[in-house]
Structure 1
């Protein structure tokens, strides 16, 4: 069975950047009737927060991104220790004792000499006695994984044929001196234990994937298939950073009244150079989804495109669908004919309440001209049973000085007292001539 996963660190809120990899893994599993796993990379206990665990789960639920199992790396440390002992026994990892200061000095000397700052494997030459002496002196080793320094190749699900030269990388540290693990090792052990078959993530993980290939092989495990999607950039082409991701957090979109369909449609369309309705894609069981079709270019964040999808999504909702998604609208007791009147003018969530207030005549700001009101009052019985076009034509005949613009504008002011809202024709059909008579009587008594 195809099994994918999303492994966020609960150190912040979900945002469009990291959600994209989650989305692609989820869709891939859906298309192939596979399994999708949510795995919290929470081994960094200082930065990992329960509030972010809860917010990530809440955001995924809001987006209707479902998962089959949930794991926490912090609860699997005993398992990591057990497997790490295998690497020690195989002599694939080796203890190191250099301090950060020692490593920084080496790095500066290498750069000064025009050499790449790659760890020189000095600790690999330590004898058993030298290691014991260091430990007896009170020093605790951290452990590095010995890379082959070969070129690692694979057929990437997104990028195609891919190669990473490990000779240009330092042997990665897998376990710190305090016994805690860095990213690489728990990730691979989890992928093995959870039988992950496909890993889709940002292309900033390319070098990590090459390292992981060798860790998989060192543990005699099958290497999953990899796919690396281009990273999302800011609108100005700069990289997303921790300083600006809060503005594109899923929490912010929820609070602003965006629909799940608008976010999912945007995520699906990114890198495909076309607009897709996620609802239609899902109803078609994702048959057209193909990772290899994703553009290799770095996509720029396009908030206007999200707004475009938001407009389309809102207008496509029935009243029941609207109230089901935006439960805070239930108290406004929106009627079916009210929603049908305003929905095709709505572009964003705030428009709903604004237009609702307008058609309920709670935002009367402008009055029709006295001459227009008097003209209608003098000929009121002539308008019975007329369609909108017949109504406007008759007014033009009764007063040749009235332009179409005058008729439309004054009719709007008579019905809603506001410049905004649905078309005058739709307003006329919604209220009907009897309501127009009632509103005219209001002016008659003034």
Structure 2
């Protein structure tokens, strides 16, 4: 059975880059009728916060990305310890004691000699006495996985055939000196024991994948299918990493962006398929194919989400937005005609409040000097209320006959006088709301 996972670290809020990974894994699982795991990678006790765990769940629920089960790495430390012991017994795990400064000097020396800046495995030559002396001087060392120096190859679901020479990669640190288990081994143990069949993540993990394949094989596990999606850039191709803090999902939610707009964009962005607004999750699932995504950096512009949100809102019945209409202050008996009037003229639901204020309080008339007599004559012809959907047509016909005005010269001054704006909803729909509110006052 297909099993995927989304594995955020609870050290901050989910942003659009994380969402891409979460969505792809979710859609793969759902399309195959499989399992989607939310795995909280909280092995860092210093930086992991429960408030971020709650925020991650809240964001996923807002988007409709419902998980089948939750796993927490902090509850599986004994499993990682067992895997580490197994690697030690196999001679694939060794302790190293270099300081960051010493490692930096080694890298610089290798680069000056034209060699790849990889760890030189000096720790493998330490005697037990030398290790004891270093521990006494520096504390516990880090534990590195000893790579087999051969080519590591796999067929990537997005990047195609990948081949990496393990000799060009440093033996990865799997456990820090303070005992903290790092992502590289924890993820391998989890993916193996949880039966994860497909892993989609960013292209910055390609080297991690190479080393993890060897760790999986050393521990006797089955390698999942890997796919590495491109990284997002800003609209001009600039690095997005420095702006991700302002692109947290909770911030996008507070701006009034709709989940289906965000999901529709992310489900196609960077693929060979055009971005199309989808009406529900079932459509997204049906149309998703990870193999249609490309390797090139993918431009993301948050402004693209606003027209998609507007289009999505236009398709919704009142029942889907009833709370927002009520929150704007609209009385229940006017909710239906108000939503029918406003839906085509909002970008986010927050815009409803402004339209209701216009209906309730009216607007400062916008009247050009040359139109003052015309407006006065037109107002005198305004029939008694209450108004309905036919009133605007009846009234403007009478004004046309009385004044001889027609077309834009007729309709635009009337709109500006009633709404203070040059454009907006159909006046036939707006006028009854304006009159009803005034009649109530």
* TM-score, scaled relative to structure 2: 0.89
- Asked whether the 8 Å contact 1:31–1:285 carries over to 2, the reply is no
The 5 A counterparts of 1:381-392 are 391-392=395-396
Q: Give the alignment's Cα RMSD to 1 decimal.
A: 2.8
The 5 A counterparts of 1:23-422 are 23-132=23-132, 134-135=134-135, 139-241=139-241, 243-272=242-271, 273-280=273-280, 282-284=281-283, 286-323=285-322, 326=324, 329=327, 332-333=330-331, 335-366=335-366, 369-375=372-378, 377=380, 391-400=395-404, 402-413=405-416, 415-422=418-425
Q: Distance in 2 between matches of 1:121 and 1:15?
A: 38
Partner in structure 1 of residue 15 of structure 2: 15
Unaligned runs of 5+ in 1: none
* Displacement after TM superposition at 1:237 (Å): 1.0
Q: Distance in 2 between matches of 1:345 and 1:118?
A: 59
The 1:328–1:150 alpha-carbon spacing in structure 2 relative to 1, beyond 3 Å, is farther
Unaligned runs of 5+ in 2: none
* Displacement after TM superposition at 1:75 (Å): 2.1
* Displacement after TM superposition at 1:297 (Å): 2.1
The 1:148–1:65 alpha-carbon spacing in structure 2 relative to 1, beyond 3 Å, is same
The 1:246–1:137 alpha-carbon spacing in structure 2 relative to 1, beyond 3 Å, is closer
Q: Distance in 2 between matches of 1:58 and 1:277?
A: 23
The 1:223–1:378 alpha-carbon spacing in structure 2 relative to 1, beyond 3 Å, is closer
SS in structure 2 of the partner of residue 278 of structure 1: coil
Q: Distance in 2 between matches of 1:75 and 1:345?
A: 50
The 1:94–1:379 alpha-carbon spacing in structure 2 relative to 1, beyond 3 Å, is closer
* Displacement after TM superposition at 1:415 (Å): 4.2
* Displacement after TM superposition at 1:343 (Å): 0.6
Which moves more between the two structures, 391-400 or 363-372? 363-372
Q: Distance in 2 between matches of 1:155 and 1:379?
A: 73
* Displacement after TM superposition at 1:419 (Å): 4.2
Cα offsets for 1:281-313 (capped at 9, x unmatched): x33472321111113321111223211211111
Q: Distance in 2 between matches of 1:193 and 1:291?
A: 24
Q: Distance in 1 between matches of 2:277 and 2:199?
A: 25
Cα offsets for 1:93-136 (capped at 9, x unmatched): 11212222322221222122222211111112234454455456
- Asked whether the 8 Å contact 2:107–2:117 carries over to 1, the reply is yes
SS in structure 1 of the partner of residue 161 of structure 2: strand
After superposing on structure 2, the runs of 4+ consecutive aligned residues of structure 1 that deviate more than 6 Å are: 383-387
- Asked whether the 8 Å contact 2:328–2:352 carries over to 1, the reply is no
Q: Distance in 1 between matches of 2:302 and 2:208?
A: 31
SS in structure 2 of the partner of residue 360 of structure 1: helix
The 1:153–1:116 alpha-carbon spacing in structure 2 relative to 1, beyond 3 Å, is same
Q: Distance in 1 between matches of 2:73 and 2:266?
A: 28
Cα offsets for 1:362-418 (capped at 9, x unmatched): 43444683443335536959x999775565444333223x34333213432454455
- Asked whether the 8 Å contact 1:164–1:206 carries over to 2, the reply is no
Q: Distance in 2 between matches of 1:311 and 1:153?
A: 45
The 1:148–1:369 alpha-carbon spacing in structure 2 relative to 1, beyond 3 Å, is same
- Asked whether the 8 Å contact 2:328–2:353 carries over to 1, the reply is no
The 1:208–1:100 alpha-carbon spacing in structure 2 relative to 1, beyond 3 Å, is same
The 1:133–1:361 alpha-carbon spacing in structure 2 relative to 1, beyond 3 Å, is closer
Question: Aligned pair count?
Answer: 431
Q: Distance in 1 between matches of 2:378 and 2:339?
A: 32
SS in structure 2 of the partner of residue 162 of structure 1: strand
Q: Distance in 1 between matches of 2:295 and 2:103?
A: 36
The 1:252–1:68 alpha-carbon spacing in structure 2 relative to 1, beyond 3 Å, is same
* TM-score, scaled relative to structure 1: 0.88
Q: Distance in 2 between matches of 1:385 and 1:64?
A: 38
The 1:333–1:232 alpha-carbon spacing in structure 2 relative to 1, beyond 3 Å, is farther
- Asked whether the 8 Å contact 1:392–1:404 carries over to 2, the reply is no
